[in-house]
Chains A and B, each alone.
Chain A
Amino acid sequence: MGAGPQFADLDGDGIEDLISGSYTKGVWFFQGKTQGTFRPGVRVQRDGKDLDSNSAQAVAVTDWDGDGKLDLVIGFISGPVKWFKGQGGLQFSEGQNLMAAGRPIEASDGGPVVVDWNGDGVRDLILGEGDGDVKYFAGRPGSLDLAAPVTLIKGSGWTPLKPDEMRVGIRTKPAVGDYNGDGKLDLFVGDFHQLQPVSRRLNSAEQKELVAATKKHEEAQRALMQYMQKNAEPMMRASYKKVMGDSAAPASLNEIDSQKREAIVAEYMRLLNEDANYRRLTAEETQTRTAKARLQPEPVLGGHVFVLVQR
């Protein structure tokens, strides 16, 4: 989850604003100037901290509890999807778990959309998930607890798409809108996929070369991995100590305030890049990968956008 553009008049000045989550820097607000133009972003915070320190934040702006004020529903890289009660403007209360059938809704890479999908006058939740599935949770009148989900779309996994193959991949992000102007809501979904580019035919000498290049690359990958398994944790410990002092490390980096977490990661990257062995092993990995890619192009990362028209 990088950018996930949402539009709503959050500051109540009559002009739509742009709101987006981000990978590690929380939720951002870009004040609308005129239709489709915006001022530079400010981070939406509470007491100088991000609303939540978890990463890959995907936001829906909606009046979740029906009190007339806009709330935020946020999905994360993992853990429960939460809602943050709006107090007007950019002020929000602490996050609460979104519930379905009496239990918190857990999702990896959760991508929420809040909309009255079945037209019964009660807002529902549509949620994209890490495995690519898109689920629908019906809202219940007068309740914050949603019904158990129904799957609208099945993700098809991380296997690279063949050239010209088309299917919904992973980490889906849904949206709704009337795509074809028939007055009915349609479902949009963005994904994350790998695409295997067309490769040229190799002659038998090149095929042998590819086998050798693949082996070399695997060896370089293994050497780098083994080095990291031994050295990454001590380096991360040292980076943590430099930023946080002697305070005990929590179970997950996500429990640390995101600005401090960024400082820890920056220090860790600095230590890594100063490490001669790391530099040598990554250079070997890159070089052997490039040699292999000359014979067999690597899959390309991309994200398609699909529309599912309502019949």
Chain B
Amino acid sequence: MFATATLAALASLPVLAPPAPILAAGKPISVQVGHAAPNWRDMNGDGLADLVVGQFGEGRIRVYLNVGTRTEPKFRDFYHLKADGQIIQLDAG
């Protein structure tokens, strides 16, 4: 049986819609060799959060700039995040 405190904690949980794949140029985003590790951050200072995704393949980080709006984000393509001009490659085995 659940304790009252547990029930209260469960009742306070956000209610979520089912998982919906995020698309870029109309297709579900899929990163190389998987292990997609997302983050939601403004990367170009335009005031809109962008989608940043780490991947296993070469340990690269993809940046999908938000080309939509604040309430309807949209993504077209990505670039690999760089450090001083070099594509970041965290080791991936």
A interface list, Cβ under 8 A from B: 1-7, 18, 20-25, 28, 30, 34-41, 58, 111, 117-120, 136, 138, 147, 150, 152-153, 166-169, 171, 173, 175-182, 184-193, 195, 301-311
**Considering the chains assembled together, what is the distance between the CA atoms of A176 and B37 in angstroms?**
11
A179 and B38 in contact, given A22-B92, A23-B91, A305-B22 (Cβ under 8 angstroms): no
A22 contact set on B, CB distance < 8 A: 59, 90-92
A-B contact count (CB 8 A): 220
User: B28 and A304: CB pair below 8 A?
Assistant: yes
Write the chain B residue with the least CB distance to A21: B90
Among residues of B, the one whose C-beta sits closest to the C-beta of A175 is: B38
* B93 partner residues in chain A, CB cutoff 8 A: 2, 23-24
| Nearest B residue (CB) for A182 | B71
* Across-interface contacts of A193 in B (CB, < 8 A): 34
Q: How far apart sit A22 and B21, CA to CA, in the bound complex (Å)?
A: 25
* A305:B38 contact, CB within 8 angstroms: yes
Contact A7/B45 with A308-B16, A310-B16 known, Cβ cut-off 8 Å: no
Please report the total number of B residues contacting A with Cβ < 8 Å. Answer: 60
Contacting pair B40 A188 (CB below 8 A): yes
- Let me know if A173 and B35 touch, CB within 8 A: yes
17 pairs across A/B with beta carbons < 8 Å? Answer: A2-B54, A5-B52, A7-B39, A20-B88, A24-B91, A35-B44, A38-B81, A40-B83, A178-B40, A180-B73, A187-B16, A188-B39, A192-B56, A302-B34, A303-B36, A304-B28, A305-B22
Q: Is A171 touching B73 in the complex (CB atoms < 8 A)?
A: no
Question: Please, which residues of chain A bring their CB within 8 A of the CB of B42?
Answer: 35-36
| B54 and A7 contacting across the interface, CB-CB below 8 Å | no
Residue among B13, B72, B83, B90 with most chain A CB within 10 A:
B90
CA distance A167 to B84 in the complex (A): 37
**Set of chain A residues within 8 Å of B63, measured between Cβ atoms:** 36
- State whether B35 touches A35 (Cβ < 8 A): no
**Is B90 a contact partner of A192 (Cβ separation < 8 A)?**
no
Cα A310 to Cα B34 with chains together (Å): 25
Contact B9 A301 (CB under 8 A): no
Q: Which of A3, A35, A40 lies in contact with B60, CB distance below 8 A? A: A3
Which residues 50-93 of B have a CB within 8 angstroms of A? 51-61, 63, 69-73, 81-84, 86, 88, 90-93
A179 to B51, CA, bound (A): 9
Tell me which of A1, A191, A305, A308 contacts B17 (CB under 8 A): A308
Chain B: CB-nearest residue to A28: B90
Known pairs A20-B61, A38-B81, A308-B20; A119 contacts B12 (CB<8 A): yes
Contact A177 B40 (CB under 8 A): yes
Q: How far is the CA of A310 from the CA of B81 in the complex (A)?
A: 29
Given contacts A2-B92, A3-B56, 5 further A-B contacts (CB under 8 A): A2-B60, A181-B70, A189-B38, A302-B33, A304-B22
Find out whether the CB atom of A2 lies under 8 angstroms from the CB atom of B33. yes
- Provide the bound-state CA to CA distance between A107 and B86, in Å: 34
